[in-house]
Amino acid sequence: MAAEKCIVLLLLAMAAGSTHGLEFVVTNSAESSDGGKRFDSEIGRTQAAQIMDAASQFIWQTFAQQSSTDRKDVQTVTLFVESRSGVAVTSNDQIRLSAEYVADYQGDVKTEITGVLYHEVTHVWQWFGNGAPVGLTEGIADYVRLTAGFAPSHWVKPGSGDKWDQGYDVTAYFLQYCDSVTSGFVAKMNSKLRDGWNLGFFNDITGKSVDELWSDYKAKYANSS
């Protein structure tokens, strides 16, 4: 029965479409739970695979990675819906989504999980540098979610935060500002992170230090309030 289930899931992913030979596989190991049932009824495995496909294409465009030589060598991206704490976690090419989060989410769960998947699929494709702040890499993932149009209402307002690498929504809005200073900033930053990490990357890309950029960013929203 388990082997048969795996074949069905692979067929579902293939039916949803693959991008350049890349396969998207969805496994719901919590299908008997409230969250697993809600996932299947309001999102579905085929549609989840389609979302990951669309997210990958959006990320490649955002990162200017249209050539496969610019990207990680990933053949399969797998989403596991399972019982776990938190929202989701990604390791290499495997995304693990909390069935409890799906069950408890108040509102349009399909839109919310779409945003979560855009964030998590970014982790599959982005470069992490060598010692880059976690706040930066998480901020890049939320920047993708933001620019794709899936920022949730509970995020902070632009201009919020105490430091540039606070992470997630705070850093996502800051990176959006950096992109207004230098078009393609996030793509250029991600490309640099392929080989390492240096705070000077901000200056290399924009001609300003990260402290100058953060100060200008905060001043912009302080003056507009």
- The structure tokens listed for 154 are 């509970």
> Nearest to residue 88, comparing CAs of 47, 123, 132, 136?
123
Mean pLDDT (whole number) for 129-154: 97
- Residue 20 has a pLDDT of 58
The structural domains of the chain, ordered by start, are 1-125 (1.10.390.10), 131-225 (no CATH)
Among 85, 56, 77, 75, residue whose Cα is nearest residue 9: 77
Q: What is the mean pLDDT of residues 95-123?
A: 98
Q: Is the pLDDT of residue 2 over 50?
A: no
For residue 206, the model assigns a pLDDT of 98
Q: What is the pLDDT of residues 42-69, one digit of tens each?
A: 999 999 999 999 999 999 999 999 888 8
Quickly state the pLDDT bin for 21 (edges 50, 70, 90): confident
Whether the CB-CB separation of 49 and 16 falls below 8 Å is answered with yes
pLDDT tens per residue across span 117-139: 999 999 999 999 999 999 999 99
According to the model, what pLDDT value does residue 224 have?
63
- What value does the mean pLDDT take over residues 9-27? 62
| pLDDT surpassing 60 at residue 16 | no
State the pLDDT at residue 175. Answer: 98
pLDDT at 12: 43
In the structure encoding, which two tokens stand for residue 222, read together?
A: 């302080």
Q: What is the pLDDT of residues 174-191, one digit of tens each?
A: 999 999 999 999 999 999
Over 60: is that where the pLDDT of 5 sits?
Answer: no
Q: What is the pTM of this model?
A: 0.90
pLDDT at 67: 87
For CA atoms 204, 206, 208, 214, the dihedral sign is negative
20 vs 109 pLDDT, higher one: 109
Residue 210 has pLDDT above 70, yes or no: yes
What is the chain's mean pLDDT, rounded?
91
8 Å CB contact between 16 and 53? yes
